[in-house]
Amino acid sequence: MKKKDKYQRYSEEALELLPAPVSEIQVQKKNATRFSLFVQNQFLIGVSEATLTQLDLRKGTLITRELLSRIETSEERWAAREYFFRILSRRDHSRKELKDKAYKKGYSGSYIDEILDEFEEKEYIDDRKFALKYTADKFEFNDWGPYKIRTQLFKKGISKGVVEECIRKCFAAEDIRESMVTLIRKKKKRYQREPKEKRKKKIFDFLLRKGYDSDHIFKHIDELLMIIDQ
């Protein structure tokens, strides 16, 4: 028998019997939402309820190799859809994140975009809402500055217009100042151990890594140095 392909779902032995009518359909013991198709009383392939309905598979349906290929594609689509639901149950994702994860998992059909279009239509995913929450959370809980958040959102496939909208909504000038002050207060003892002539550069480099731009840092650098001296 040939070695099974990683994503192959059908039985090679039953494949040799095609074309042949479905001789039996059984509910799978471990998963009541999945069904086993048999031809000439030999297991052929397991399918989801969605595939069973969409392709109108029933006892007596003639299974050809062409129909088997359609069944496999339907099953891959179903599996990708279920995979997306599992991912989204853990946290929100951007459209690009989901697409990248699907390709990495081995799903590569045109159905990926079709599923994501459906998810957007049903508002299971929304890049604008995702980006706004991501921006607010990273600012509030990680003290990230606008530059770092902007860079990460671009990597996640968020459009420039949406990114800038989120930055404007979440970052007021005073918010940026307060966040930098909070960060330096947390690191105060560390910087007090540094020679005074090195503190300015250390603070500048640290805040740059956190995503704050040089204009904001320079604007408040004297206040930040005073915090360390107190």
Per-residue burial over 190-216, b = 16 or more CB atoms within 10 Å of its CB, e = otherwise = ebeeeeeeebbeebbebbeebbbeeeb
How high is the pLDDT of residue 72?
92
Residues 112 and 211 in one domain: no
Q: Are residues 165 and 188 in the same domain?
A: no
Same domain? 27 vs 68: yes
Residues 110 and 193 in one domain: no
Residues 100 and 183 in one domain: no
Q: Is the residue at 7 inside a domain?
A: no
What is the β-pairing status of strands 62-63 and 34-39? unpaired
Considering the domain boundaries, does residue 155 fall inside one? yes
156/60 same-domain check: no
Q: Is residue 3 assigned to a domain? A: no
> Do 40 and 80 reside in the same domain of the chain?
yes
- Domain residues for the domain of 49 are 12-121
Question: pLDDT at position 8, please?
Answer: 56
Note whether 80 and 63 are same-domain residues.
Answer: yes
Same domain, 26 and 116: yes
Answer yes or no: is 59 within a domain. yes
Query: Residue 53 maps to which CATH number?
Result: 1.10.10.10
pLDDT at 2: 39
Q: Tell whether 142 is covered by a domain.
A: yes
Q: Could you give the dihedral angle defined by the CA atoms of residues 162, 166, 172 and 176, in that order, rounded to the nearest 10 degrees?
A: -110
Residue 147 domain flag: yes
pLDDT of residue 93: 97
Give the tens place of pLDDT for each residue, 184-218. 999 999 999 999 899 999 999 999 999 999 999 99
pLDDT in 10s for each residue of the chain, 230 residues: 333 444 457 888 888 999 999 999 999 998 999 999 999 999 999 999 999 999 999 999 999 999 999 999 999 999 999 999 999 999 999 999 999 999 999 998 789 999 999 999 999 999 999 999 999 999 999 999 999 999 999 999 999 999 999 999 999 888 899 999 999 999 999 999 999 899 999 999 999 999 999 999 999 999 999 999 88
Residue 177, domain member (yes or no)? yes
Total domains in the chain come to 3
Question: Do 21 and 112 reside in the same domain of the chain?
Answer: yes
Q: Specify the pLDDT at position 12.
A: 86
